[in-house]
Amino acid sequence: MLQHDLSRAHPVKQSAAGVCAAGHPLEADAARRALDEGGNAVDAVVAGAFMAAVVEQIDCGLGGFARVSVGMAGASPVFSTFDGYVRAPRRARPDMFTPRDGEAWTYYGHPPTVGDAAKHGARAVAVPGAVAGLLRAHAACGRLPRERVVLPAIEAAEAGVPFGWREKLVIADLQDEIRALPDAAAQLLPGGKLPAVSVQMPDADRLDTRPLARTLARIAEDGERAFYQGDIARALAAYVQDAGGILTEDDLAAYRLGEPRERPGTYRDLSYVTCQDEVAHLGLNILEGYDLASLGPDAALYRHVMAEALGVCFTDCLAHYGDPQFVQSPISGLVSKAYAAARRADIPLHTVLPRPIEPGDPWPHHDAPYVEDGIRREISAAARKGTSQVVAADEDGNMAAVCTSTGWNYGSLVYVPELGFFLNNGMSYFDPRPGRPASIEGGKMPIFGAPVVVAARQGRPVFACAGSGGYRIETGVLHTLVNALDHGMPVDRAIDHPRVHCQGGATFVDARIPGDVQAALRERGHEVAALVEDASTLHFARIACVGLGPGNEPTASAAPAWLTGVSRA
């Protein structure tokens, strides 16, 4: 019987095969198993991500998305990315949801929708890309047979998954929405009640994941086509349409990954990829112009610079980004060094930028004709839970990272009992107002602000990092990279060191940051909100990272400890 032994939140197991870190101990175990069986870093993260689809259904699954970044030692090119993000169904329209006026703006910087129709229910479902993203990465870069990579997830699903305290808290919060969807209620409210959670986990209520085991076995046997064509696609589309959604078999059959070629960025002496996250490129380009090492990791000026840089890059990317295959968007301008220098010059060192931060103008730095859209995006600092992550390094020096999610907790809350998984609420990522860069359009990918980073030095992968926690992932990954590279911290300290977060409004600080530093930020004009992280929160993201230790050996870490797993294979 599958156990959740959270006393093993940081299991460490050693051999010569490599290291891995993940959002859950069983994901780390699956990744380690792949390494032990002769697999490489890509086999490891894909195995961990399929396990996540079983043991972290609150956060991710086959009905969501997966984005993978890979660095292969000695290869040319070093980097590959596999963007298995959601796409809008072909029948999606810019006006398919009605915006709610006069209410708080969503996490994505646009209005919520009437009845939360873009968040919960069948109309919220976008075309899932998780299976395609994971299997394309594995086919291109993995070493083990597909069946062996998926097998640990199948075994876990056959055993069933006990509910934990986090699941119970989330289900309690979403009871009304869950009860409105009978199949979700049957899965999440056994006997019509909140699930029983016991310190002795075998006594807890358990998710029936046997249907998911059968779906995973089909994927292991027949690969990507098993999910996007045939019986699974037919059942998935029929269920969504019967529930009032617009997903079709044709949408599934036509799914394609995002742009496969990401131009690597540079930060100091590193080259890196993010899996198409322009926010991270702009943020690192801005930060590169500061001597962060001389500021030190705890100084008020360092905290100020990090907060303002994050505020600027979120503001600019939310204001200007649109899927470049569908709208004119200044992507190359946003990620250019010249634009970052201009925005860095806008940031005063002894006071904050006026709030809310006004977007800059990346169009003059874009390598396409100038377009003036005149659109100003509102900015939100709302937190969002969901998502999981796996990172790995192998004995050959390869590194890989994956971020996988269904969106919010349990995604759209649409559960397909025949197939055994929840579906994403990807339509909530779009702006429900027509005529904007992130407006809804059939086939379109929405904005993404959570980097999946793999970095290399002189062609050798040296750093891989991913996280969960919505846009707080941006904060967690960038702080971890800066802490490791600029401040010389080992990866465990780089992850655990207190962080700040800003999306253009208030500045959220880890309550562990000393009071005098918080006071100095207030003196500079920051609206400081000190937050205490605990087992029910992701204020500053949950991060997993692998890097090189003092002897150039790969090391792994993940935090916070009560939500993560680490394995050394």
Instruction: Tell me what pLDDT residue 166 has.
Output: 87
Please give the pLDDT value at position 259.
75
Structure tokens at 210: 């046997």
CA atoms within 13 A on the CB side of 519: 3
Residues 6+ apart with CB under 8 A from 506: 381, 526, 527, 528, 529
Can you give the pLDDT at residue 262? Answer: 86
DSSP 80-104: EEEEE--B--TT--TTSSPBPTTSP
Secondary structure (3-state) at 507: strand
Residue 82's pLDDT is 97
Candidates 251, 236, 160; CA nearest to 412 is 236
Full-model pTM: 0.93
- Asked whether residue 286 is domain-assigned, the answer is yes
Q: Which amino acid is at 283?
A: G
In the block, residue with structure tokens 């891995």? 20
* Domain membership flag for residue 392: no
Question: Is the Cβ–Cβ distance between 432 and 108 less than 8 Å?
Answer: no
43, 144 contact by CB (below 8 A): yes
Count: domains in the chain: 1
Which one-letter amino acid corresponds to residue 168?
K
| Residue 351 lies inside a defined structural domain of this protein | yes
Q: What is the pLDDT of residue 261?
A: 77
Answer yes or no: is 45 within a domain: no
pLDDT recorded at residue 566: 54
The per-residue pLDDT for 369 is: 40
Give me the residues of the chain with pLDDT under 70, please.
1-16, 103-108, 198-202, 260, 368-386, 535-536, 559-569
User: What residues form DSSP beta bridges with 431?
Assistant: 439
Per-residue exposure over 392-405, b if at least 16 CB sit within 10 Å of its own CB, e if not: bbbeebbbbbbbbb
Phi and psi angles of residue 418, each rounded to the nearest 5 degrees, phi first: -65, -30
Q: Could you say which DSSP state residue 414 is in? A: -
In 10 A of CB 235, how many CB atoms?
16
The token duo for 145 is 């047979």
Choose among 492, 552, 436, 485: nearest CA to 110. 436
Backbone φ, ψ for residue 443 (5° rounding): 85, -5
Contact indicator for 363, 371 with CB cutoff of 8 Å: yes
460 within domain boundaries: no
**DSSP type of residue 431:** B
Q: Could you tell me which of 482, 472, 448 has the C-alpha nearest to residue 537? A: 472
Question: Facing residues of 507 across strands?
Answer: 502, 528
DSSP E strand boundaries for 212-276: 265-267, 270-273
Within a domain: residue 344? yes
Q: Please report which residue ranges of 37-95 form alpha helices under DSSP H.
A: 41-55
pLDDT score recorded for residue 539: 84
- 514 assigned to some structural domain: no
> 245-303 pLDDT, tens per residue?
999 999 999 999 987 678 999 999 999 999 999 999 999 999 999 999 999 999 999 99
For residue 77, whether the previous peptide bond is cis, meaning omega lies within 30 degrees of 0, is yes
Structural domain for 304, as ranges: 278-365
* Per-residue model confidence (pLDDT) at position 470: 83
Rounded to an integer, what distance in angstroms lies between the CA atom of residue 519 and that of residue 517?
A: 5
Would strands 500-502 and 507-510 be described as parallel, antiparallel, or unpaired? antiparallel
Would 361 be classed as within a structural domain? yes
Residue-wise pLDDT for 535-555, tens only, equals 667 788 889 999 987 777 778
CATH number, domain of 339, equals 1.10.246.130
- Sheet holding 388-394: strands in order across? 79-84, 65-71, 399-405, 388-394, 18-22, 565-568
pLDDT of residue 108: 67
